[in-house]
Homo-oligomer: A and B are copies of this chain.
Amino acid sequence: MDGGVTRKGPVTSSQVARRAGVSQSAVSRTFTPGASISPATRAKVLAAAKELGYRPNAIARSLITSRSRIIAVVMAYLENLFYPDVLEELGRRLAAEDYHVLLFTGFKDRDSDPVFDQLMQYRVDGIILASTSLSSDLSEECAAAGIPVVLFNRTTERDAVSSVTSENREGARRLADFLVAGGHKRFAFISGLQNSSTNRDRYEGFRDGLKSHGIEDLTVQTGNFSRSEAETAARTILSAPERPDAIFVANDHMAVAVMDVARYEFGLSIPQDLSIVGYDDVGPSRWPSYDITTVSQPIDTMVDAAVRILMDQITSGLIEPVHELLPGELIVRSSARKPRSGLETVNGRTIYRSGDGL
Protein backbone atom coordinates (compact mmCIF):
# COMPACT_ATOMS: atom_id res chain seq x y z
CA MET A 1 0.00 0.00 0.00
CA ASP A 2 2.34 2.70 1.15
CA GLY A 3 5.38 1.71 -0.88
CA GLY A 4 3.19 0.67 -3.75
CA VAL A 5 4.58 -2.81 -3.29
CA THR A 6 2.21 -5.68 -2.78
CA ARG A 7 3.47 -7.67 0.19
CA LYS A 8 3.49 -11.38 -0.20
CA GLY A 9 3.52 -13.60 2.83
CA PRO A 10 3.66 -12.53 6.44
CA VAL A 11 5.23 -9.28 7.63
CA THR A 12 8.93 -9.47 8.52
CA SER A 13 10.97 -7.62 11.08
CA SER A 14 12.71 -5.69 8.31
CA GLN A 15 9.40 -4.33 7.09
CA VAL A 16 8.55 -3.26 10.61
CA ALA A 17 11.99 -1.68 10.99
CA ARG A 18 11.54 0.35 7.84
CA ARG A 19 8.12 1.53 8.95
CA ALA A 20 9.35 2.44 12.41
CA GLY A 21 12.54 4.07 11.14
CA VAL A 22 14.81 1.86 13.22
CA SER A 23 17.15 -1.05 12.54
CA GLN A 24 15.96 -4.59 12.16
CA SER A 25 17.93 -5.37 15.34
CA ALA A 26 15.78 -2.97 17.27
CA VAL A 27 12.67 -4.79 16.13
CA SER A 28 14.14 -8.07 17.20
CA ARG A 29 15.08 -6.66 20.60
CA THR A 30 11.59 -5.34 21.12
CA PHE A 31 10.27 -8.88 20.89
CA THR A 32 13.05 -10.47 22.91
CA PRO A 33 12.24 -10.33 26.62
CA GLY A 34 15.15 -8.86 28.53
CA ALA A 35 16.92 -7.42 25.51
CA SER A 36 18.34 -3.95 25.81
CA ILE A 37 15.98 -1.48 24.19
CA SER A 38 14.89 2.04 25.13
CA PRO A 39 11.25 2.65 25.90
CA ALA A 40 11.03 5.18 23.08
CA THR A 41 12.37 2.83 20.40
CA ARG A 42 10.28 0.05 21.76
CA ALA A 43 7.17 2.17 21.48
CA LYS A 44 7.91 3.08 17.88
CA VAL A 45 8.47 -0.53 16.98
CA LEU A 46 5.34 -1.71 18.73
CA ALA A 47 3.29 0.90 16.90
CA ALA A 48 4.68 -0.09 13.51
CA ALA A 49 4.29 -3.78 14.32
CA LYS A 50 0.69 -3.32 15.24
CA GLU A 51 -0.01 -1.31 12.13
CA LEU A 52 1.44 -3.98 9.89
CA GLY A 53 0.18 -6.95 11.87
CA TYR A 54 3.67 -8.24 12.61
CA ARG A 55 4.25 -11.47 14.45
CA PRO A 56 7.78 -12.77 15.03
CA ASN A 57 8.57 -15.86 12.98
CA ALA A 58 9.13 -18.64 15.49
CA ILE A 59 10.66 -20.82 12.81
CA ALA A 60 13.40 -18.31 12.05
CA ARG A 61 13.95 -17.77 15.72
CA SER A 62 14.31 -21.50 16.28
CA LEU A 63 16.90 -21.76 13.58
CA ILE A 64 19.16 -19.16 15.11
CA THR A 65 18.64 -20.05 18.76
CA SER A 66 18.56 -23.81 18.14
CA ARG A 67 15.61 -23.96 20.48
CA SER A 68 12.30 -24.79 18.87
CA ARG A 69 10.21 -24.44 22.02
CA ILE A 70 8.43 -27.53 20.79
CA ILE A 71 7.98 -30.69 22.82
CA ALA A 72 7.12 -33.86 20.94
CA VAL A 73 4.35 -35.77 22.65
CA VAL A 74 4.00 -39.33 21.45
CA MET A 75 0.78 -41.15 22.35
CA ALA A 76 0.14 -44.17 20.24
CA TYR A 77 -3.58 -44.26 20.99
CA LEU A 78 -6.11 -42.15 22.81
CA GLU A 79 -8.82 -44.76 23.29
CA ASN A 80 -8.16 -45.00 27.03
CA LEU A 81 -9.48 -41.73 28.47
CA PHE A 82 -6.50 -41.59 30.78
CA TYR A 83 -4.40 -40.36 27.89
CA PRO A 84 -6.63 -37.54 26.67
CA ASP A 85 -6.73 -36.39 30.28
CA VAL A 86 -2.95 -36.43 30.38
CA LEU A 87 -2.73 -34.70 27.05
CA GLU A 88 -5.01 -31.90 28.09
CA GLU A 89 -3.06 -31.26 31.26
CA LEU A 90 0.19 -31.47 29.36
CA GLY A 91 -1.06 -28.87 26.91
CA ARG A 92 -1.93 -26.57 29.75
CA ARG A 93 1.34 -26.97 31.62
CA LEU A 94 3.56 -26.69 28.58
CA ALA A 95 1.70 -23.64 27.33
CA ALA A 96 2.36 -22.04 30.70
CA GLU A 97 6.07 -22.56 30.08
CA ASP A 98 5.68 -21.15 26.59
CA TYR A 99 6.28 -24.49 24.96
CA HIS A 100 4.18 -26.11 22.28
CA VAL A 101 3.08 -29.65 21.63
CA LEU A 102 3.88 -31.51 18.44
CA LEU A 103 1.62 -34.52 18.73
CA PHE A 104 2.29 -37.94 17.30
CA THR A 105 -0.68 -40.24 17.58
CA GLY A 106 -2.77 -42.67 15.61
CA PHE A 107 -0.17 -45.30 14.83
CA LYS A 108 -0.56 -48.85 15.91
CA ASP A 109 3.03 -49.83 16.48
CA ARG A 110 4.21 -50.88 19.87
CA ASP A 111 7.16 -48.54 20.08
CA SER A 112 7.71 -45.06 18.74
CA ASP A 113 10.68 -45.70 16.52
CA PRO A 114 8.77 -45.06 13.29
CA VAL A 115 7.89 -41.50 14.25
CA PHE A 116 11.26 -40.80 15.73
CA ASP A 117 12.77 -39.56 12.51
CA GLN A 118 9.95 -37.10 11.99
CA LEU A 119 10.21 -35.66 15.42
CA MET A 120 13.96 -35.29 15.30
CA GLN A 121 13.70 -33.40 12.02
CA TYR A 122 11.72 -30.72 13.81
CA ARG A 123 14.51 -30.35 16.34
CA VAL A 124 12.16 -30.66 19.27
CA ASP A 125 13.54 -29.53 22.62
CA GLY A 126 12.20 -32.56 24.45
CA ILE A 127 10.15 -35.70 24.08
CA ILE A 128 7.36 -37.16 26.15
CA LEU A 129 6.41 -40.73 25.43
CA ALA A 130 3.12 -41.87 26.89
CA SER A 131 1.77 -45.40 26.51
CA THR A 132 4.75 -46.21 24.33
CA SER A 133 8.47 -46.53 24.54
CA LEU A 134 11.59 -46.18 22.48
CA SER A 135 14.31 -48.60 21.51
CA SER A 136 17.57 -48.36 23.42
CA ASP A 137 19.41 -47.14 20.33
CA LEU A 138 17.15 -44.17 19.89
CA SER A 139 17.16 -43.40 23.60
CA GLU A 140 20.93 -43.26 23.45
CA GLU A 141 20.80 -41.05 20.41
CA CYS A 142 18.58 -38.56 22.22
CA ALA A 143 20.83 -38.50 25.22
CA ALA A 144 23.85 -37.92 22.97
CA ALA A 145 22.01 -35.14 21.15
CA GLY A 146 21.10 -33.48 24.43
CA ILE A 147 17.37 -33.99 23.99
CA PRO A 148 15.62 -34.98 27.20
CA VAL A 149 13.17 -37.87 26.97
CA VAL A 150 10.54 -38.61 29.60
CA LEU A 151 8.55 -41.81 29.64
CA PHE A 152 5.11 -41.16 31.02
CA ASN A 153 3.34 -44.05 32.74
CA ARG A 154 6.17 -46.35 31.74
CA THR A 155 9.59 -46.79 33.23
CA THR A 156 12.85 -48.49 32.41
CA GLU A 157 16.08 -49.04 34.23
CA ARG A 158 17.91 -49.91 31.08
CA ASP A 159 17.96 -46.73 29.07
CA ALA A 160 19.18 -43.21 29.38
CA VAL A 161 15.68 -41.80 29.65
CA SER A 162 13.73 -40.37 32.54
CA SER A 163 10.36 -41.61 33.65
CA VAL A 164 7.30 -40.60 35.60
CA THR A 165 5.10 -43.31 36.99
CA SER A 166 2.98 -43.89 40.02
CA GLU A 167 3.57 -46.62 42.57
CA ASN A 168 2.00 -49.37 40.53
CA ARG A 169 3.56 -52.16 42.47
CA GLU A 170 2.48 -50.80 45.82
CA GLY A 171 -0.98 -49.93 44.50
CA ALA A 172 -1.55 -53.42 43.17
CA ARG A 173 -0.28 -54.96 46.38
CA ARG A 174 -2.80 -52.88 48.26
CA LEU A 175 -5.57 -54.10 45.97
CA ALA A 176 -4.59 -57.65 46.89
CA ASP A 177 -4.76 -56.76 50.58
CA PHE A 178 -8.11 -55.15 50.03
CA LEU A 179 -9.60 -58.11 48.21
CA VAL A 180 -8.26 -60.62 50.71
CA ALA A 181 -9.55 -58.54 53.59
CA GLY A 182 -12.90 -58.49 51.80
CA GLY A 183 -13.02 -62.28 52.08
CA HIS A 184 -12.37 -63.20 48.46
CA LYS A 185 -11.02 -66.65 47.75
CA ARG A 186 -10.37 -67.14 44.04
CA PHE A 187 -8.46 -64.52 42.10
CA ALA A 188 -7.90 -63.63 38.48
CA PHE A 189 -5.84 -61.01 36.74
CA ILE A 190 -6.50 -59.55 33.29
CA SER A 191 -3.22 -58.16 32.12
CA GLY A 192 -2.21 -55.21 29.99
CA LEU A 193 0.56 -55.23 27.43
CA GLN A 194 3.03 -57.93 28.37
CA ASN A 195 6.13 -55.87 27.75
CA SER A 196 5.03 -52.70 29.52
CA SER A 197 6.53 -51.85 32.88
CA THR A 198 3.14 -50.68 34.08
CA ASN A 199 1.62 -54.06 33.46
CA ARG A 200 4.59 -55.89 34.93
CA ASP A 201 4.55 -53.82 38.11
CA ARG A 202 0.81 -54.16 38.60
CA TYR A 203 0.98 -57.87 38.01
CA GLU A 204 3.92 -58.48 40.30
CA GLY A 205 2.53 -56.24 43.01
CA PHE A 206 -0.77 -58.08 42.93
CA ARG A 207 0.82 -61.51 42.84
CA ASP A 208 3.19 -60.67 45.70
CA GLY A 209 0.35 -59.16 47.69
CA LEU A 210 -1.63 -62.38 47.37
CA LYS A 211 1.42 -64.44 48.26
CA SER A 212 1.94 -62.50 51.44
CA HIS A 213 -1.47 -63.83 52.45
CA GLY A 214 -0.51 -67.34 51.47
CA ILE A 215 -2.40 -67.31 48.20
CA GLU A 216 -0.51 -68.81 45.30
CA ASP A 217 -3.32 -69.44 42.86
CA LEU A 218 -3.90 -66.71 40.31
CA THR A 219 -5.65 -67.13 36.96
CA VAL A 220 -4.12 -64.84 34.36
CA GLN A 221 -5.51 -63.80 30.99
CA THR A 222 -4.17 -61.24 28.54
CA GLY A 223 -6.09 -58.07 27.77
CA ASN A 224 -3.31 -55.94 26.23
CA PHE A 225 -4.98 -52.76 27.50
CA SER A 226 -7.58 -53.21 24.78
CA ARG A 227 -11.34 -53.26 25.34
CA SER A 228 -12.07 -56.08 22.98
CA GLU A 229 -9.23 -58.27 24.17
CA ALA A 230 -10.32 -57.66 27.75
CA GLU A 231 -13.81 -58.82 26.82
CA THR A 232 -12.41 -62.01 25.41
CA ALA A 233 -10.27 -62.52 28.50
CA ALA A 234 -13.30 -61.98 30.72
CA ARG A 235 -15.34 -64.51 28.77
CA THR A 236 -12.63 -67.11 29.20
CA ILE A 237 -12.29 -66.47 32.91
CA LEU A 238 -16.00 -66.38 33.61
CA SER A 239 -16.72 -69.54 31.63
CA ALA A 240 -14.30 -71.59 33.71
CA PRO A 241 -15.87 -74.22 35.98
CA GLU A 242 -14.39 -72.64 39.12
CA ARG A 243 -15.21 -69.02 38.53
CA PRO A 244 -13.07 -66.52 40.48
CA ASP A 245 -14.80 -64.24 42.93
CA ALA A 246 -12.39 -61.35 42.35
CA ILE A 247 -10.78 -60.03 39.19
CA PHE A 248 -8.08 -57.40 39.10
CA VAL A 249 -8.13 -55.80 35.67
CA ALA A 250 -4.88 -54.01 34.84
CA ASN A 251 -6.60 -50.74 34.05
CA ASP A 252 -10.02 -49.13 34.34
CA HIS A 253 -10.37 -48.82 30.61
CA MET A 254 -10.51 -52.62 30.42
CA ALA A 255 -12.31 -53.03 33.75
CA VAL A 256 -15.33 -51.24 32.34
CA ALA A 257 -15.51 -53.76 29.51
CA VAL A 258 -15.08 -56.65 31.92
CA MET A 259 -17.94 -55.40 34.09
CA ASP A 260 -20.17 -55.17 31.05
CA VAL A 261 -19.35 -58.73 30.04
CA ALA A 262 -19.91 -60.02 33.57
CA ARG A 263 -23.25 -58.32 33.91
CA TYR A 264 -24.73 -58.49 30.46
CA GLU A 265 -23.32 -61.74 29.14
CA PHE A 266 -23.04 -63.77 32.34
CA GLY A 267 -25.84 -62.15 34.29
CA LEU A 268 -23.62 -61.64 37.31
CA SER A 269 -24.25 -59.09 40.02
CA ILE A 270 -21.34 -56.93 41.01
CA PRO A 271 -20.06 -57.13 43.69
CA GLN A 272 -22.39 -59.87 45.05
CA ASP A 273 -21.34 -62.56 42.58
CA LEU A 274 -18.05 -61.09 41.51
CA SER A 275 -15.74 -58.30 42.60
CA ILE A 276 -13.86 -56.28 40.03
CA VAL A 277 -11.09 -53.80 40.71
CA GLY A 278 -9.18 -51.67 38.25
CA TYR A 279 -6.43 -49.10 38.05
CA ASP A 280 -6.12 -45.43 37.04
CA ASP A 281 -9.31 -43.85 38.40
CA VAL A 282 -10.24 -42.67 34.96
CA GLY A 283 -13.59 -41.06 33.98
CA PRO A 284 -15.98 -44.02 33.58
CA SER A 285 -14.80 -45.63 36.81
CA ARG A 286 -16.43 -42.71 38.60
CA TRP A 287 -19.74 -43.04 36.78
CA PRO A 288 -22.49 -44.66 38.82
CA SER A 289 -22.96 -47.46 36.27
CA TYR A 290 -19.48 -48.72 37.05
CA ASP A 291 -18.35 -47.08 40.27
CA ILE A 292 -15.11 -49.00 40.22
CA THR A 293 -12.83 -49.61 43.18
CA THR A 294 -9.48 -48.64 41.77
CA VAL A 295 -6.11 -47.08 42.47
CA SER A 296 -5.77 -43.50 41.32
CA GLN A 297 -2.92 -42.21 39.27
CA PRO A 298 -2.28 -38.56 40.14
CA ILE A 299 -2.40 -37.12 36.64
CA ASP A 300 -1.74 -33.51 37.57
CA THR A 301 1.24 -34.34 39.76
CA MET A 302 2.60 -36.72 37.17
CA VAL A 303 2.28 -34.15 34.39
CA ASP A 304 3.90 -31.59 36.63
CA ALA A 305 6.82 -33.87 37.27
CA ALA A 306 7.25 -34.68 33.58
CA VAL A 307 7.24 -31.04 32.60
CA ARG A 308 9.60 -30.12 35.39
CA ILE A 309 12.10 -32.81 34.40
CA LEU A 310 11.98 -31.62 30.82
CA MET A 311 12.42 -27.97 31.74
CA ASP A 312 15.28 -28.70 34.12
CA GLN A 313 17.17 -30.71 31.57
CA ILE A 314 16.54 -28.25 28.77
CA THR A 315 17.75 -25.40 30.94
CA SER A 316 20.77 -27.14 32.40
CA GLY A 317 21.71 -29.10 29.30
CA LEU A 318 22.37 -32.06 31.56
CA ILE A 319 20.60 -35.24 30.53
CA GLU A 320 20.60 -37.37 33.63
CA PRO A 321 17.84 -39.97 33.86
CA VAL A 322 15.45 -39.15 36.67
CA HIS A 323 12.81 -41.60 37.84
CA GLU A 324 9.86 -40.03 39.56
CA LEU A 325 7.56 -42.42 41.38
CA LEU A 326 4.37 -40.87 42.70
CA PRO A 327 1.88 -42.30 45.15
CA GLY A 328 -1.68 -43.25 44.26
CA GLU A 329 -4.62 -43.96 46.51
CA LEU A 330 -6.88 -46.99 46.65
CA ILE A 331 -10.31 -45.52 46.10
CA VAL A 332 -13.10 -47.63 47.46
CA ARG A 333 -16.29 -47.71 45.46
CA SER A 334 -18.90 -50.38 44.91
CA SER A 335 -17.47 -52.77 42.32
CA ALA A 336 -15.86 -54.97 44.94
CA ARG A 337 -16.96 -56.33 48.30
CA LYS A 338 -15.45 -54.28 51.09
CA PRO A 339 -13.45 -55.37 54.12
CA ARG A 340 -15.03 -54.74 57.51
CA SER A 341 -12.21 -52.47 58.59
CA GLY A 342 -9.44 -50.30 57.24
CA LEU A 343 -11.62 -47.88 55.31
CA GLU A 344 -11.13 -44.17 55.88
CA THR A 345 -12.91 -41.16 54.49
CA VAL A 346 -10.70 -38.36 53.26
CA ASN A 347 -12.09 -35.34 51.42
CA GLY A 348 -15.35 -37.14 50.80
CA ARG A 349 -13.64 -40.15 49.22
CA THR A 350 -13.40 -43.53 50.83
CA ILE A 351 -9.90 -44.89 50.65
CA TYR A 352 -8.12 -47.99 51.86
CA ARG A 353 -4.62 -48.18 53.19
CA SER A 354 -2.99 -51.50 53.86
CA GLY A 355 -2.87 -52.90 57.35
CA ASP A 356 0.89 -52.39 57.52
CA GLY A 357 0.37 -48.68 58.06
CA LEU A 358 1.71 -47.62 54.69
Residue of B nearest to A31 (CB): B121
Q: Which residue of the partner chain B has the closest CB to A10? A: B145
Assess the B100–A122 pair: CB atoms within 8 A: yes
A56 at the interface (CB under 8 A from B): yes
User: Which residues, 90 to 106 on A, are CB-close (under 8 Å) to B?
Assistant: 90-93, 95, 100-106
A110 within 8 A of B: no
Contact B106 A90 (CB under 8 A): yes
Give the docked Cα–Cα distance between A59 and B60 (Å). Answer: 8
Interface residue A289 (Cβ < 8 Å from any Cβ of B): yes
Q: In this assembly, does A141 line the interface, its C-beta being within 8 Å of a C-beta of chain B? A: yes
Contacts known (A78-B87, A79-B84); A58 close to B102, Cβ less than 8 A: no
- Of the candidate stretches A62-70, A204-212, A340-348, the one touching chain B is A62-70
Judge whether A101 and B103 touch: CB under 8 Å: yes
A264–B107 alpha-carbon span in the complex (Å)? 39
Q: With A106-B95, A260-B288 in contact, is A123–B59 under 8 Å at CB? A: yes
Interface flags, A114-132, vs B, CB<8A=1, else 0: 0101101111000000000
Q: Are A101 and B100 in contact (CB under 8 A)?
A: no
The reply to whether B62 and A88 form a contact with Cβ atoms under 8 Å apart is no
Q: With A and B bound together, what is the CA distance between A257 and B283 in angstroms? A: 11
The answer to whether B102 and A10 touch across the interface, beta carbons within 8 angstroms, is no
List, in ascending order, chain B residues with CB within 8 A of A118's CB.
95, 100
A271 interface residue (CB < 8 Å to B): no
Copies of chain A in the complex:
2
A123 and B88 within 8 A (CB): no
Residues of B within 8 A of A60 (CB): 63
Q: Does A357 reach chain B (CB closer than 8 Å)?
A: no
- A9 contacts partner chain B, Cβ-Cβ < 8 Å: yes
A55 at the interface (CB under 8 A from B): yes
Q: Which residues of B contact A83 (CB under 8 A)?
A: 84
Q: Which residues of chain B have C-beta atoms less than 8 A from A73's C-beta?
A: 103
Chain A 250-269 near chain B by CB (<8 Å), digits 1 or 0: 00000011011001100000
**Binary flags per residue of A280-291, CB closer than 8 Å to B gives 1, else 0:** 000110011110
The A273-304 residues at the B interface (CB cut-off 8 A) are 283-284, 287-290
Contact of A104 among B91, B115, B289 (CB under 8 A): B91
Show 9 residue pairs from A and B whose CB-CB distance is below 8 angstroms, ordered by the A residue: A57-B121, A58-B122, A60-B63, A90-B106, A91-B103, A92-B106, A95-B104, A100-B122, A103-B103
Chain A residues within 8 Å of B, Cβ to Cβ: 9-10, 53, 55-60, 62-63, 66, 68, 70, 73, 77-79, 81, 83-85, 87-93, 95, 100-107, 115, 117-118, 120-123, 141, 145-146, 256-257, 259-260, 263-264, 283-284, 287-290
3 A-B pairs with the lowest CB-CB distances in the bound complex, closest first: A91-B106, A92-B106, A78-B84
